[in-house]
Amino acid sequence: MRTIALTLVALLAATLVACGGGATTAAGPTVTVELSDFKFSPETVEVPAGQKVTLELRNKGSVEHDFTVEAIGLKAIVKAGQTATRVVGPFTAGTTYELVCTTAGHKESGMVGKLIVK
């Protein structure tokens, strides 16, 4: 009976992981980016080629921001004072992507940057 219970718990855990459960699993190196009113710091985010990377996005601003890289389908919305993580990649070396905050008026106010794969 105990073996059956442990097996069910393991299956439930595996199902939650497979479904995503809203959580992001850390992978490879972690790159931290601060979002503030109205910039990314650093503006140029460098990630290594050929491996997954965990992006740690910290909103130090007073309003909601997002970290969007349209070319890879990434849009992470981060409320003021909050942190979000996303696992991205692997990427091909020598690739550069535009990153922006798509909140109304933020891109126009200079909240843009680059994601460069080294």
28-54 pLDDT, tens digit per residue, is: 899 999 999 999 999 999 999 999 999
pTM summary value = 0.77
Q: Output the pLDDT for position 15.
A: 34
Q: Let me know if residue 5 belongs to a domain.
A: no
Q: Output the pLDDT for position 27.
A: 73
The token pair that represents 45 in the structure block: 């985010």
Distance in angstroms (rounded) separating the CA atoms of residues 66 and 19 = 24
Which residues in the chain land under pLDDT 50?
1-24
Side chain identity, residue 15: T
Q: Let me know if residue 6 belongs to a domain.
A: no
Q: Let me know if residue 1 belongs to a domain.
A: no
Q: Output the pLDDT for position 21.
A: 34
DSSP codes joined into one string, 5-64: HHHHHHHHHHHHHHH-TT-----S-EEEEEEETTEEESSEEEE-TTS-EEEEEEE-SSS-
Q: What is the rounded (10 degree) CA torsion for 55, 61, 62, 64? A: -30
Q: Let me know if residue 78 belongs to a domain.
A: yes
Q: Let me know if residue 63 belongs to a domain.
A: yes
Q: Output the pLDDT for position 9.
A: 35
Helix (H) or strand (E) holding 2, with range, is: helix 2-19
Q: Let me know if residue 61 belongs to a domain.
A: yes
Range of the domain at 95: 26-117
Q: Let me know if residue 18 belongs to a domain.
A: no
Q: Let me know if residue 60 belongs to a domain.
A: yes
Q: Which CATH number goes with the domain that contains 92?
A: 2.60.40.420
Name the domain count of the chain: 1
